Structures are given as C-alpha cells and as structure tokens.
C-alpha cells in the first residue's frame, strides 16, 4: 500500500515535540511532513496568508490527522483546518498524543475532543463521525508503539468515511 499524503494539525508551541514523533514514524508520505523552519515561517504570515497556505496544503492531501494535546481543541487554526478538511470531503481522524513525552520527558493532561464543537451541515457534532484514537496505554513508549501500529489503518478508515457525514 502506498503511503498516504496527509496534513498534520496540532498546536505548535505545546505539542511540536510530540507531533514530531508521530510525523517521523515513516507511516505517511514524506511530503506530509514539514520542517520546523516551514512551520516557523508560516506562523509569521498574516491570517489571510495562513489560510491560503492551509487551503493549498489540504487540497493536496487525502486526510487531515489532528494530533490532540491538552489544549488543541481551543486553537483557532486547528479548528479552521478541521472545518476546511470537512468542506473538502477529506478524511479526518484525531489521535490523542498527551501521553507521549515531550523533550523534557513530560506527559500532559488529555485535552477535549477537537471535533465536538464543530457541526456538520445537518447540525450534528463532527465528533459523532470522526474517530479520535486514544491509546489505552499510559507509558510514552507503549503509546508510541500503539499509535505507530494503528496510524495507517486510522488514516485509511478516515479516508473511506470521508464525505459520508
């Protein structure tokens, strides 16, 4: 099976280290991952330019993978990315990453489901349709292995479900 091109959505300041672990698992196309310099450059742009960048990136991808940390659901750009992926009928999946350790060896608290406050066209919660994978493990090493084992299937399932909600 060819590796999918996906767009990773996450809260940069708090979760970049955790997100980097998932982005670098080798389970998706290399074109899905961006260097930290790319992320830093995008953050400096105007809102209109950021939207333009997100829109162009999502247009090239088959799935949006939201990496959920402690406050991801409150982030403006994560919300925009989810809404845009929904509008474009892209696959959408969430993966909780709070139990992956950061560069200080720290885990964080589990955040809210970022799909809960986003409504479908027929006024249902997107969280009713989009999976948000939460590993049953608590140690970072086991959570990493669990995400690595399931990532490709989560993406395939999300792509199969796209456009059905």
Q: Name the 3-class secondary structure at 67.
A: strand
Tokens, residue 89: 């009928």
Quote the pLDDT of residue 89: 96
CATH of domain 6-161: 3.40.50.450
Please give the chain's pLDDT, 165 residues, in tens.
578 899 999 998 899 899 999 988 888 867 665 655 566 677 778 899 899 989 998 999 999 999 999 999 999 999 999 999 999 999 999 999 999 999 999 999 999 999 999 999 999 999 999 999 999 999 999 999 999 999 999 999 999 999 888
Question: What is the structure's pLDDT at 24?
Answer: 85
Quick one: which of 79, 85, 126, 135 has its CA closest to 107? 135
Sketch the domain layout of the chain as residue ranges. 6-161
Overall pTM > 0.75: yes
Distance CA 164, CA 162 (A): 5
Instruction: Residue 65: name the closest of 93, 29, 91 by CA.
Output: 93
Q: How far is CA 62 from CA 68, 85, 162, 163, in A?
A: 19, 9, 9, 12
What would the two tokens of residue 145 be? 């292995």
Q: Supply the pLDDT for residue 13.
A: 86
How confident is the model at residue 21, as a pLDDT?
93
């Amino acid at each position: 099976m060819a590796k999918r091109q996906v767009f990773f959505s996450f809260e940069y300041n708090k979760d970049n280290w955790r997100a980097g672990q998932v982005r670098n698992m080798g389970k998706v196309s290399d074109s899905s991952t961006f260097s930290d310099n790319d992320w830093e450059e995008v953050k400096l742009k105007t809102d209109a330019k950021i939207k333009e960048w997100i829109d162009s990136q999502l247009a090239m991808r088959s799935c949006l993978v939201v990496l959920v940390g402690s406050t991801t659901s409150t982030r403006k750009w994560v919300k925009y990315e989810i809404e845009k992926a929904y509008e474009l009928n892209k696959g959408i999946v969430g993966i909780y990453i709070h139990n992956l350790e950061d560069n200080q060896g720290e885990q964080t608290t589990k955040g809210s489901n970022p799909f809960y406050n986003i409504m479908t066209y027929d006024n249902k919660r997107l969280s009713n349709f989009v999976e948000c994978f939460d590993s049953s493990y608590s140690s970072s090493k086991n959570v990493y292995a669990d995400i690595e084992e399931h990532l490709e299937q989560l993406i395939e399932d999300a792509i199969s479900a796209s456009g059905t909600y």
